[in-house]
Structures are given as structure tokens and as C-alpha cells.
Chain A
Amino acid sequence: MNMRKRYRGVIGVAAMASAVALVVTGCTRGGDTNTGEDGEAAASPGITDDSITFGITSPLTGPTAGPGNCTVDGALAYFGAKNAEGGIEFGDGKTRTVEIKAYDDTYDPQKALANFQQMVAEGVFAAGIGLGTPTNRAWRDAAIDEEIPQVLVMTGDPLFSNREESPWQLGLVATYPQEGEAFGQLLADSGEEHKVAILSQNDDYGEGYVEGFKNAVEGADNIEIVGELTYEATDTSVDGQLTELAASGADVFFNAMSITPLVISALQKAQQLGWNPSWFLPSNTSSPTAILEPGGGAAFPGIYTVAFSEAAASPAFQESEEGQAFMAALGEYTNQDGIPGFPHCVWSWIGAATLEQAFQNMEEPTRESFMDALLNISDFDAPFMLPGAEIDTTIDGIPAVSTVVVQKYNGKGYDTVENFG
């Protein structure tokens, strides 16, 4: 009796589910809907005569939602402002508005792939700008299969800028090794004896920085690495690591850390322990107002970072015309409240400006033409780029941000420096 009824339940549910699935989706498998007309090159999906859609999958909720939302908001603000002006004139002479479609992947690779599949179904022209290494890797193969651009992704994983392996991809931000190497070079060139302690995040982010740093100081006799530890991105404290590294007597601390509260508490803990090394921080966790002020960064002989863009919190940025346009657009088209606490908002804005360059130069409304245009940008005076850093998409193995500069904390903001000390 019991079993029979349960049996019926299974079948009933399955039948209902199949029926619903068929009815809801309704339509059948369509062929290629965009057949060309009159001998013109067939337009790719997602682009019409007056609009183009661009998809972003990024963590919009969950632990990485802070930078994740910024990756969407910068582009949303940039194109919101452009659309309000009437749109962008493309290389084929038509003026189009840019529609950003955002999807939340909560930093789950599986959801990122599902979002990409949904984008394909909804016919986006191209996708990218989203945050995260595993999430972007999860749909990299699918993007290559579908020949859909996955561009200006916000990860320092070098794979995305390898033209041979990733023909439809391009990274936006400098790779992690690039940043680590820039600081390592500065240190090696100083000619002074330095003992270095390393604390890095236990993933490709931390490994990339350390790899770049070690490459740069390899063979430099004046640099000795006296301690090297890791932490997990989910840790709530790195006090133990700081205690251990402080005992190593290092005078330079290479801290490849991407978690805001941990950087603050690391700065505080070092001071409590009476350890005052020169300090290196990555570009995404070196904000003067959000991190160094609460952490008491002024107590250290020098805090160095690698950067390519101006910080939104700096007075120069806020006073500049471009900076004010950025803040106004962010206020109008996104949920951001005040100055964003993560640099990814500015980076996303730079990414959007780079996209605009590609749009302006693509001569046909196709993905191939878009990729050609995107991979041929050099001498582009992108907004908010620091002097010395530039966007150049023509170099194999290097993402759109091709050069970075080393900066030193001055108690309020950062100055670009040529020498250590």
C-alpha cells in the first residue's frame, strides 16, 4: 500500500516535470537565427543596428560580492553615461547603445558556466569583465567552443592572455606575476642587503605574486628570503603567521593578500609585535583610506604597492573632471553608495573604455571583427591610468594592462617611485 502510493508519486512528479518543461520552454531548437542579408557579413547574435549586449557573470552576493559588484558597476556606469549621450559610434558607421546584462555566480564555477550558457541562450554578443579565476576558467572552454569573446576578465591568471591557448580571451588587469615581479625588480635593483618575509594567499593569486617576485630577485645576491608562509582566503586571522614571520627578523615583508580585513589586522598585529618592516601590498588591497588608515600604515618605513590606475579615494581623482563624471555615473546607474571601497569599480570603468575602443574600431558587426579590433589597441590613453602604466592589447601573453608602476605610501595617497627606500 505504502509503496504503491509512493511509486505513483515518483511517476506523477516525473510526468508533471516533463510536461511542464516542454510546455514552458515551448519553442524548439532553432538553427542560426542571424542569416546575413544582401551579401553583408552576417551579424553575430547580440548586435543589431542600434544596440549591442555584453554579459558579465561575477559574484554579486556572497563573500566576494564587494569587488564582484564593482566589476559590474564600473561598466554599468560607463555605458550608462555613454548611452545617455546617444550611444557609441561603431567602426561600421552605426551608432549603438551598449546593454550590460549582469549575472550572479556567487563565485561558484558551476554557476558561472550556467550563467554563460544562459547568456548564449539570451544571445549576448560578448562577455567578460567578471571577477575570479575559477569562475572564469569554468566557462573558458565553452566560450572557445561557441566562439564567443570572453574578454577583459578581472583575474591575473596568465592563461587568459595566452593567445594560442585562449584565442577568444583576454585579461584586463596585470597578471599576478607581473605585479610581483615589478616590486621584486625594484628591491633587487636597490643594491642593499634585504631579508624578505613572504605571506601569500594559498591559491593562484598568492602563488602568482610570489612566483613573479622570486623570478625578479633570482640571482640578486642582496636579497635573502628568510620566511615564507601562506594563509587561506577564508581565514579570520593571520596573527599566527605574523608572529612567526616577525621572529624571522626580516626587514621587508612581501604580503600577497587579497582580503581587506586581514590586511588591516596584519598591519595592526605587526605594530603590536614591534615589527616594522617595509611592506609590499598588491594593487587590490592597498587602498589608503579603506586599509592603510585603519591599519595604521604610517607606522612603517615604507608601504609599497603596484598600481596601474588612480585610486578613487585620492583627492586628485575626486577633483578631476573625469573623476567627477565617474562618481556621478556610479551614483546614477548603480547601487554604489559613495566612494567605492574596492579598486575594481575603477578597473571595470577602464575595461569599459577599452571595450569602447574596440567597438569604435570593429568594422563588421561580428565577433571576429570585434576580437580583431580588441587585440589591436595600443597607444590608448585610457581614463584613470597612472603615468607610466598603459593599455596595450597587442602583446601575446600580456593582458590589456601591459605595464604597471611601483608606488609608495606617503601618509595620504601614493607616489610613483623609481627606487626602493
Chain B
Amino acid sequence: MDTFIQLVIDGLALGSVYAALALAIVLVNQSTGLINFSQGAMAVLSAYFAYVLIGWGFPTILAILGSIVVSFLLGAIVERLLIRRFEGGDPDTAVVVTIGLLTLFTGIAGWIWGYNNRQFPSLFPLETVDILGAVVSVRSIGTTLTIVGIMVVLQLLFQGTKLGLALRAVAINPSSAAYSGLPVGRLLMIGWGLAAALGAVAGALVAPALTLTPGMMDTALVYALAAVIIGGLNSPLGAVVAAWGIGVLENLAAVYVPFIGYDLKIAVPFIILFVVLLVRPQGLFGRKVVVRV
């Protein structure tokens, strides 16, 4: 039983890593209608910004705040200078541009900072506490709570604020949004900027555990994409729950279903969700879906 609870908690902690990035992907999708494959690479760049600031002697928390600001600007600039060109065109093209950015940003990080694993200080200590007989590190709890906090903020942003509604309006139908007087261009920039800022948080949260390398987010990106697709592109809650679900389910399946083992565990969430989708095609938490990939 102890092992079971430990596995569930380990799974949640792992899922939170995917969830951090998944939230950023949902944010871009909600505010621009795209799936941004370079979200992870941008988060890595953000983490390197913070790393540089820490190297200059800033306290960790200030360094992360600084990198959030820089990342917001970077996201907005990328949208304005690059992605704007593809707004209203074939969405596949814009998505592939983000694939190009993924390669480019990863390459830039490797070129500037090299490929050695770098230690990134954590905001939360590694000490552990006992929960129901399971050992949990304060870092995992901190990460998970931060994710939940961001998720709530996003959920409120999109459902309860003017900005959120405007962002969504622009994503769903830019032309109508423009006709009704919304500053479409600025909103798109804000959407990208916010997502990049959120990515900076994600990067800072996972960098201590994964160590900082240019490819730090490669695997996390794949899982985050899966979580976003499973949870429904338009639901922060869905993305987080899906990410946790992936983390917990694959852990449990690996241990308790011997045939699956640790190598094929990743298949489990997909198979379960596939069955769920047969019953509920719009995803677990999604409303009507507007897919633009």
C-alpha cells in the first residue's frame, strides 16, 4: 500500500513537469489558435536567461522574475516579427514555423551555453515530508502547487476577464474581432508574451530536476503535447488533469501490469484516453473544439 501511494505521488510530481509546459501550450492555443511546438525551447531559453542572471549574483527568485519579463518580451517580439506573417494563412504553415523555431532556439541555446548539464537552483528545498506513509519532497509539492495556482489563474483569465475573452475572440475569429474594435495585433502579441512568460515559470520549475541543457524540454514537450491533446486544447484544467493522469497511470501500469513494464507504460494513457474519446469525442474537459493544427 505504501508503495502504491508513493507511486501515485511520484506520478503526480512527474505529471506536474508536463503540466507546466502544457499550460503554456494551451495559453497560446487559446489566444492565437495555434499549437506552438517551440514552447519548450522558448522555456529553455528563459531558464538560461535566469541562469545567467543567477550567475551575475541575483537571488534565484529575482532572476526568475527577470527571466519572466524578458520572456514576455521575447514571446511578443516573435509573434510580431515572425508569426504575424502567417496569421490568417494556412495554420499548418504557422505550426511548421514553430517547428523551425524549436530547432533554432535549441540550437541557439547549445551554441551560446554548450551542451553540458548545468545545475539550476531550486526555489524549493529538497527536504521531504511524509504524506500517508509516502515520502514527498518539498520541491515536488512546491512545483505542483505552483502549477495548480497558474491553472486557476488561467481558467479565471479566460472565463472571467475581459482580456481573456478578447484573447479568445481573436483566436477564434480574428476578422470579427477586428470589426468589433479589438486591437487584434496587440492581443496576439500579448497572448504569445503571456505564454512565453508562463513557459519561463515552467522552465524554472523543471530545470532543477532535469538539469539545464538545450534539450531539457524535448521529452517534456512530447508529453505536454499529448496532455494538451488529451485534455482538450481549450481547457487549462483538462491539460493539467491529463498531464497528472499520464504521470500516475503510467507509473501504476508499469508496476502492477507486468506485461506492460516500464518500457511500454507510455502507451497506457493513450489507450485509456482513446477509449474515453470513443465515448466523449471533445476530450475530457473540452467544450466544442476548434482544432487548427
Contact = CB atoms under 8 A, between A and B. Distances in A.
A241 B210 CA distance: 17
Nearest to A274: B135
A237 B119 contact: no
Interface string B1-15: 011001100110110
Contacts of A65: 110, 115, 214-215
A111 B250 CA distance: 33
B17 interface: yes
B63 interface: no
Interface stretch (B24-32, B255-263, B283-291): B255-263
Interface hub of A65, A294, A340, A342 (most chain B Cβ within 10 A)? A65
A243 B261 contact: no
B66 interface: no
Counting chain B residues whose Cβ lies within 8 A of the other chain, the interface size class is 35 or more
B11 A240 contact: yes
Given A261-B211, A272-B128, A239 B13 contact: yes
B10 A239 contact: yes
Interface in B111-146: 114-117, 119, 126, 128, 135, 137
A231 B10 CA distance: 15
Contacts of A61: 106-107, 110
A111 to B, nearest CB: 14
A230 interface: yes
Contacts of A237: 10, 13-14, 17, 209
Contact of A341 (B14, B110, B116): B116
A235 to B, nearest CB: 7
Contacts of B218: 63, 234
B10 A240 contact: yes
Contacts of A247: 2-3
Contact of A243 (B3, B211, B219, B263): B3
B254 interface: yes
A202 interface: yes
Nearest to B2: A247
B251 interface: yes
A341 B10 CA distance: 29
A375 interface: no
A299 B265 CA distance: 31
A272 B134 CA distance: 10
Given A236-B220, A241-B262, A272 B126 contact: yes
B14 A239 contact: yes
Contact of B211 (A62, A231, A260, A335): A260
Nearest to B248: A240
A192 to B, nearest CB: 27
Contacts of A366: none
Contact of A202 (B213, B223, B251, B262): B262
Given A236-B210, A240-B7, A231 B262 contact: yes
A104 to B, nearest CB: 11
A341 B255 contact: no
Nearest to B5: A243
Nearest to B215: A63
A273 interface: yes
A261 B135 contact: no
Contacts of A336: 114
Nearest to B220: A236
Contacts of B11: 240
Interface hub of A202, A239, A241, A290 (most chain B Cβ within 10 A)? A239
B117 A232 contact: no
Interface string B234-254: 000000000000000011001
Closest 8 CB pairs of A and B: A341-B116, A66-B115, A239-B10, A261-B211, A240-B251, A63-B215, A65-B115, A260-B117
6 contacts: A63-B218, A66-B117, A69-B114, A232-B262, A261-B117, A337-B114
Given A202-B262, A240-B11, A265-B209, 12 more contacts: A66-B117, A69-B114, A237-B209, A239-B14, A241-B254, A241-B262, A247-B2, A264-B211, A272-B126, A273-B6, A274-B135, A341-B116
